[in-house]
A and B are shown apart, each in its own frame.
Chain A
Amino acid sequence: MIFAALPEPSRTGDVLMAFLSILFEGAPYILVGTVLSGFIDAFLPAKLLDRVLPRNKVLSTLMAGFLGLIFPVCECAVVPVIRRLVQKGLPVSCAMTYMLSAPIMNPIVAISTLTAFKEFQKVTSIGEIGNATMTLSRLSLGYVVAVIVGLFILRFTAAQLLKPSIVAGIVGGGNGDSEAVVPAADFNTKLVQAMRTAMRDFLDTGMYFTIGVCITSVFNTQVNQAVLDGVAGSNVLAIPSLMGLAFILSLCSTSDAFIAAPMGVFSNAAKLAFLVLGPMMDVKLLFMYSAVFKRRVVISLLIGLFLLVGVLAVPWMSLIQSLAAQKP
């Protein structure tokens, strides 16, 4: 059922091919995230989060880092979700930590990393879980980086971090009108609202996603990847170059381990940097984050994450390896 003869391969065709393949990979998860976001918007009582989360913001940020274990989402789905959660009263620091850690600290990603690095074979009992060094390093470093960023932004207000349109939608907003906002609407009305929000969020997120994927697919097909091989051997350059690759390729966090594992010439620390940075920051995310955060915040996040992951990757990898080695 192919409507017309396929065009001849060409440079443009290469970009379109890469574009479509990433779109097919990501769009389903954007839909999942935005439908979820729509239902959060319509059905989640605004005060629920306040009641569930600890009052202490440091504590709640530490907890938010583990939320991915309960609500496993990849990075395409998490952006619309946190946007809605923030408007439902989730502190921005928690939202940021959840946004950064959920695409890493989640069971699906743990399984795919175990599989890609063939670490399933090494873990036959609970006692040997330390043998899965790459998976453990990835999840733990992802958590730590996400929490550091979350704690760092505690000092800022929502208005300093978020786009004005998002701030304006925050329920309550600390201005005392929150009690008036819980709508006494029936189920049908809420459903309509959920679906309308889902549609709007899908298009919003989809637009930024599209921009990011366009850029990614140009890099992906028009730039000679051998440029990277030259720096693979160097310890100084290997980590930044793999982080650069993660940034440009914009892979889904559920599958990037399969790309990292075969990179035989790179050190484990460099692969770790690739696997931690990629789900937190890449070309498509740069644009998707722009739908929620102010531009200055997104740029700071970009630089901060590069530095943080780049500096921590080597010591973290050796730390986890030495911890694993100490086990009897």
Chain B
Amino acid sequence: MNSKNLIHLVSVALLFLWGAVLLYFYASGRIAHYLPPDGIFRPMVLVAGIGLMIVGLFNLATLHYAAADCCGHDHDQGHDHGHGHAHDHAHDHGHDHGHDHGHDHGHDHGHDHAHDHAHDGCCGHDHGHDHAHHHAEPAAAVAHDHGHGILEESGAVGRLVAILIIAAPVTWAAVRSPDQYSANAVVNKGLYNQNYGSTTRADQFSLRGDGGKNAVAEKEATAKATTAEPLPQAVTTGAAGATSASAPVSSSTPPGGAKETKSYGGFTLADLEAQVPKSKAGNFILDVPELYYTAGDKEVQGVITGQMVETTAQVLPEKVNNEDGRRLRIFRMLVQCCAADARPYSIPILFSETAPTFKDMTWVKVAGKMSYQQEGGQTVPMIEVTTIEETTAPDNATIY
């Protein structure tokens, strides 16, 4: 087998490798840890996986075609036309041009001459050869290669490195990715730097149902009066599965910075009960992001303070305002577009005495009384724990 065919086959194998990784992660469902369920990205993984297989198979099937018409042919031609080629050089500026830039266009040079610029590849010269070839007999311009792919034009070492770069990281990652972040990454991604009272994804996790969402959307409009009617959001609500129970609330909202607790109009315990499911023990079942965003909503906060809530999250030690060791921090990872942009949403949980120790990142089910404290210039939501127990990861370990 000549080196051109070998490179062709290696290229096909690399396409199969990437395609197989995409298809495996899609088919096994592991993609759920990497990309959001809605939007175009997940389907695109399937499409690309199939696409890579098709391009690979097509190229595999046409290896002979290509070889017969391009490479094998070239070899003969190259030698036969050795003189003709040199002759072309004399009047072909294209070739001179190429040489000026240190690129090897000479077909026969590639194999026969030591002064070749390390371009000992077989495709690197195809191009130049084709040019000469066209002059001589244009009809034979079959499958001509304009390509100077990295695998064709580099030296042997360069090619190996290129193959390694294309193949190794993706293989390593596919085999060794744990599908979840370690405590280290969670901390780096901002576990202890929370901005309660932020409104950026508040509409998604508001306990107000559609009415609350609209209020948030309107609040985010600029101070300029706008006649726009709030469109229904396509965003799905969190685990609370909010139905549009409450009527749209007043749109008169005070302007101000993002950090303070704001008023969004009336909210009652009845509203909360209409929006949030309860556990058998009578605790409101909420996710951490929902608890997180209650800190920015005065009325919701007023209603939920002192209520029993229950949430499932991962746990890490608390590092701020924890001199007496009575706190832990629980968090959920939220992803916007892909797992690389995952951010932890976290709140502290408070024990009446020294907090128990859990292995980092353990999934726990926490129940307790909701409370708020002013710390570090913001309202921090926290749970005063009555019970905490280890549990298994929920199906939606990552929230999108």
Contacts and interface: CB of A to CB of B under 8 A. Distances in A.
Interface of A: 1-2, 6-14, 16-25, 27-29, 31-32, 35, 41, 87, 118, 120-124, 128, 131, 133, 159, 164-169, 171, 173, 175-177, 180-181, 183-185, 189, 192-193, 195-204, 206-207, 210-211, 213-214, 216-217, 220-226, 229, 249, 251-252, 254-255, 258-259, 261-265, 291, 325
B15 interface: yes
Given A165-B103, A203-B15, 12 more contacts: A28-B45, A124-B227, A159-B101, A168-B103, A177-B135, A207-B150, A207-B162, A217-B340, A225-B193, A226-B192, A258-B336, A259-B336
Given A168-B103, A189-B69, A264-B258, A21 B12 contact: no
A17 B134 contact: no
B220 interface: yes
B93 A176 contact: yes
A17 B181 contact: yes
A228 B41 CA distance: 28
B15 to A, nearest CB: 6
B191 to A, nearest CB: 9
Given A159-B101, A184-B139, A211-B165, A21 B34 contact: yes
Contact of A325 (B142, B170, B224): B224
Given A19-B173, A192-B65, A175 B94 contact: yes
Contacts of B25: 20, 24
Interface in B85-130: 92-94, 97-98, 101-103, 105, 124, 127-128
B93 A177 contact: yes
B31 A2 contact: no
A233 to B, nearest CB: 11
Nearest to A178: B94
A-B complex: 8 closest residue pairs judged by Cβ atoms: A262-B200, A28-B48, A200-B149, A21-B339, A9-B182, A164-B101, A255-B337, A28-B44
B66 A199 contact: no
Contacts of A6: 177-179
A165 to B, nearest CB: 4
A22 B340 contact: yes
B149 A265 contact: no
B66 to A, nearest CB: 6
Given A21-B34, A87-B146, A10 B182 contact: yes
B303 interface: no
A interface, by DSSP: helix, strand, loop or mixed?
A: helix
A47 to B, nearest CB: 15
Nearest to A41: B146
A225 B35 CA distance: 21
A191 B187 CA distance: 51
B147 A118 contact: no
B226 A131 contact: yes
Contact of A197 (B31, B134, B146, B230): B146
A12 B40 CA distance: 28
A259 B92 contact: no
B30 A2 contact: yes
A12 B182 CA distance: 9
B11 A24 contact: no
A26 B120 CA distance: 32
B274 interface: no
A2 B28 contact: yes
A259 B36 CA distance: 14
A180 B93 contact: no
Given A168-B105, A169-B146, A118 B12 contact: no
25 contacts: A9-B361, A11-B185, A20-B174, A23-B170, A25-B338, A35-B55, A120-B231, A121-B230, A122-B228, A165-B148, A180-B134, A183-B142, A184-B138, A196-B143, A199-B56, A203-B150, A204-B151, A214-B169, A220-B340, A221-B188, A225-B193, A226-B192, A254-B40, A261-B200, A265-B258
Nearest to B214: A121
B220 A118 contact: yes
B184 interface: yes
Contacts of A206: 14, 18, 166
Contacts of B150: 203-204, 207, 291
B221 interface: yes
B195 interface: yes
B181 A251 contact: no
Contacts of B15: 199, 202-203
B184 A11 contact: yes
A1 B146 contact: no
A249 B34 CA distance: 16
B173 A16 contact: yes
B51 interface: yes
B239 interface: no
Contacts of B176: 7, 12-13, 16
A198 B59 CA distance: 10
A221 B227 contact: no
A46 to B, nearest CB: 10
B35 to A, nearest CB: 6
B375 interface: no
Nearest to B51: A31
Contacts of A35: 51, 55
Given A197-B146, A264-B199, A10 B34 contact: no
Nearest to B152: A200
B311 to A, nearest CB: 21
A261 B202 CA distance: 12
A173 B105 CA distance: 15
Nearest to A202: B15
Contacts of B93: 175-177
B141 A183 contact: yes
Given A21-B338, A28-B45, A225-B188, A189 B142 contact: yes
